[in-house]
A and B are shown apart, each in its own frame.
Chain A
Amino acid sequence: MRRQCELMAMTCVLVGASFIATACRNARAGEADTAQRTGTHDTTLTSAPNAPANAVALPPGNDNAQGSGEWTMPGRDFGGSRYSPLTDINVSNVKNLKVATTFSTSVLHGHEGQPLVIGSTMYVVTPFPNLLYSIDLTKPGGALNWVYAPNPDPRSVGIACCDIINRGAVYADGKIIYNTLDAQTVAVDAKSGKEVWRTRVGDISIGETMTGAPLVVKNAVIVGDAGAELGVRGYAEALDLGTGKPLWKAYNTGSDADALIGAEFKPFYAKDRGKDLGITTWPKDQWKLGGGTVWGWISYDPELNLLFYATANPGVWNPDLRPGDNKWSITLWARDPATGHAKWAYQFVAHDAWDYDEIMENIPVDMPVNGQMRKLLIHPGRDGFVYTFDRATGEILNANMYQPTNWAKGIDLKTGAPIEVPEKRTHEGVVTKDICPSSTGAKDQQPSAFSPRTGLLYVPAHNVCMDYEGVEANYIAGTPYLGASVKMFPGPGGYRGDLVAWDPVHGRATCDVKEDLPLWSGVLATAGDVVFYGTMDGWFKAIDARSCAPLWQFKTGSGIVGNPIAYRGPDGKEYVAVYSGIGGWMGAVAFPDISLDDPYTALGVAGAVPDLKKKSGMGGTLYVFSF
């Protein structure tokens, strides 16, 4: 907070306002208010060594200590909690929320990800061509400082699987750092907008793209690749924060040496132990085309010094072609961020037959389990289960369904393996009906939020199932072949989207909000006990974090697939911001050039949201709300 007030002082000198002191006083009052409120609940915001056994907390050091009003990382803090300690906007007054300002990004494609706020400046990264805007929040309505254009190679547009999206930037060491669609990582000076370094991480000539947001841990910028659809071999890579030079690279297929697996590697379950499993769980040499990319969310626990991320589905398609577990696809890694060395791993789904890639968020929280404080890691899965791990060891404490799921009956906590339903496994040339969830999962990349005040995870979920059907003629590069057709359709229950408040200790939902359309936006939870999310038809909504009761909503111009943030403006007021711009895998159905009779382009999702074209036009606007 002190740093923020200094920044505010610097910028506010320009406008000659005398409100700085007031603003900072208000800000402190807000924090004090938070502390007072938390005392009335069985929760604390920061966990001290002598914290009571019944406290719920984000891990110590989780916050970046750059001021409670800022949003400097993709998920706000190292853990990606998407929890803001701001309280000005709360359950009693959120109904008065109004649009404060808007900003057009000039790009009409899926706006996944979220802006950053550092001091009195907001940073917005657009979908391809991946422009970076710097917006001065001290000016009325926000004024553009500068725009940085990385000029990514246009051929990446033809390669990206599921729209040309970008999931945002991270701030560290005076730099805004993000990935471009053509698989480069760029670092831009946050003040001047000048490029500091640029590193080519992947090669689009072989189908590698990058869509995820980096995370910075000490001097390491952690990034990962996308493009499993084109047979890319997945990896995570660390780049030096100062220079962009590679520090380490951990592959998700291949030898233990390639996967940075050594003496420190201690998986909890026997199924994940063995030598060179990244080779031996594949047919000969096929690990080279093995998929398992890292295009989702990365998190970090400073106390245990563990980096967490999970990997995508294995390539190539047709599970019959790759007998074996196909490690390390669909695997959660815990690694040392300095060396990349693996500490433990857990493969969610061995030998995937459904495209259940598990690149979803992994959020570290400290909560009491059976009267004992435990270091947990929550992973709401694509495969229909929310997993609660002991993050030090990789042991699953509970894993329960949160949406209609029938490919497995449950997760065997002794072996760590799913209890599969064999008739729901897909095989090429075989029709398999009514598989839940569909390939889009019970959720996809859109990230959850966790509130330490309620101890609940707020999960944006889908309820969509699929038929895996027969063959159809297709072609690539002049070569005809037969592909399976996947037809998706709404799951049972008469709803397609669900905002689920999930108790990770007991592994159960406490309340939820059923939505007509599948939820493709992320979630924000605040210390005002308000939870924000958006819908694919453009409604931005606020609900009560404890009861899930609807409190407020506003209709934006296009569908929301971005992730809301909260920040304190230079005027001392709390603001909530979110992108409105339909797109992404499911959202691309809204695009005029995607026809509903085109099953290949949208990979089957057209059947899940055939009505989306009528419900959202394309857009690319940042909306900011306050009183």
Chain B
Amino acid sequence: MSFRFKRWGSRWGLGAGRWAVLIVMMAGFTSSAHRPSPTAQREALRVCSDPNNLPFSDSLQHGFENRIASMLASDMHARLEYTWWPQRRGFVRNTLKAGDCDVVIGVPSGYDMVAATAPYYQSTYVFVTRADAGLSPKSFDDRSLRHARIGIHMMGDDYANSPAAVALMHRGLGANIHGYMIYGNYNEPSPPSRLLDAVVRKDVDVAIAWGPLAGYYARHSAVPLVVTPVSPRIDTPFLPFVYSISMGVRRGDTTRKAFLDSEIVRRHDDIRRVLGEYGVPLVGGS
């Protein structure tokens, strides 16, 4: 998997079925006095997306966010276009805010760099262990964590880290932490997955990871893994492990936001089914 810079990325990420439609349309152009037909000018759904971040998205459109985007485009009778950019610092600035695309399919519901829609799913941080490990913590207070090697994601130097780091520090377990940069090596597929590779390889006894990544990884792992939601859901002081996920548009883009909000209600069951296929652990009214 190589990195895709946004201007090099495919903006015409069409699935096989849509190719057929396009070919028919193009045939139509050539036979109709070189004048574009009204259907050729139909609206595009322009999505800002990471080309290398399964299970969320990738440039082959194999992620669950890609599936949801296809669903939306189909309802809009719109073309689906992607602007590819890694979801790191500058992602929103260089894609959505730059005006190159109009929707981010997944953002935390309280994320203030975008106008967020209603939440469409809620997931949780989880413990991930090998099924043969004889260790399956259910809570940050579980005694089995005291002598465990615990892998977590590190977010870098921007005044931020995984909430698991803080929960472990508060319990005097800082020395047990093994950090894995969430950025990883972008030349490798789905860089954040190295944290879960570490569980499989027995480099750590348990990983604490965001649910969608862990659920998908466990579903495809040759080594059986156990995925358990962390407890408590909100640690003290205010330290949540459960997050609601929304779609994001530019602030002021109220028409699009209203459309997406209505889609989230109308397509509720379809979205749930997709998330289920990817093993996303759901909490709250699921």
Contacts and interface: CB of A to CB of B under 8 A. Distances in A.
Given A472-B110, A595-B97, A285 B158 contact: no
B165 A154 contact: no
Given A320-B166, A321-B165, A321-B177, A480 B108 contact: yes
Interface in A582-624: 593-595, 597-598, 600-601, 603
Contacts of B191: 477
Contact of A476 (B57, B178, B182, B239): B182
A16 B156 CA distance: 59
A283 B160 contact: no
Given A477-B183, A479-B213, A429 B166 contact: yes
A601 B89 CA distance: 7
B44 to A, nearest CB: 22
B13 to A, nearest CB: 18
B169 A320 contact: yes
Interface string A219-233: 000000000111100
Nearest to A428: B166
Interface stretch (A236-244, A311-319, A412-420): A311-319
B34 to A, nearest CB: 36
Given A476-B88, A477-B192, A316 B161 contact: yes
B89 A161 contact: yes
A231 B157 contact: yes
B111 A474 contact: yes
Nearest to A478: B56
B115 to A, nearest CB: 12
Contacts of A317: 155-161
Contacts of A158: 5, 85-86, 88-90, 94
Contacts of A428: 161, 165-166, 169
A230 B160 CA distance: 11
A476 B165 contact: no
A3 interface: no
A429 B159 CA distance: 11
B206 to A, nearest CB: 16
B38 interface: no
Contact of A594 (B93, B157, B159, B178): B93
B212 interface: yes
A483 B160 CA distance: 4
Most central of A231, A595, A598 by chain B CB within 10 Å: A231
Nearest to A320: B169
Nearest to B90: A158
Given A477-B183, A593-B97, A483 B192 contact: no
B113 A600 contact: yes
A481 B161 contact: yes
A73 interface: no
**Which one of A159, A289, A482, A603 has the greatest number of beta carbons of chain B within 10 Å?**
A482
Interface in B89-140: 89-90, 93-94, 97-98, 106-113
A505 B192 CA distance: 51
B186 A472 contact: no
Interface string A143-156: 00000000000110
Contacts of A229: 89, 156-158
B135 to A, nearest CB: 19
A531 B135 CA distance: 67
Contacts of A291: 157
B153 interface: yes
Contacts of A315: 154, 156-157
A476 B180 CA distance: 13
Given A158-B85, A229-B157, A321-B169, A473 B243 contact: yes
Given A283-B175, A321-B169, A477-B86, A482 B98 contact: no
A483 B159 contact: yes
B162 to A, nearest CB: 6
Given A161-B89, A478-B210, A230 B240 contact: no
Contacts of B87: 475-478
Contacts of A323: 174-175
Contacts of B178: 284-285
Contacts of A471: 238-239
Kindly name the residue among B85, B110, B157, B160 whose own CB sees the greatest number of chain A CB atoms within 10 A: B157
Shortest 3 CB-CB contacts between residues of A and residues of B: A483-B160, A480-B108, A473-B110
Given A321-B177, A472-B110, 8 more contacts: A231-B157, A317-B159, A429-B166, A468-B159, A473-B243, A475-B111, A476-B89, A484-B160
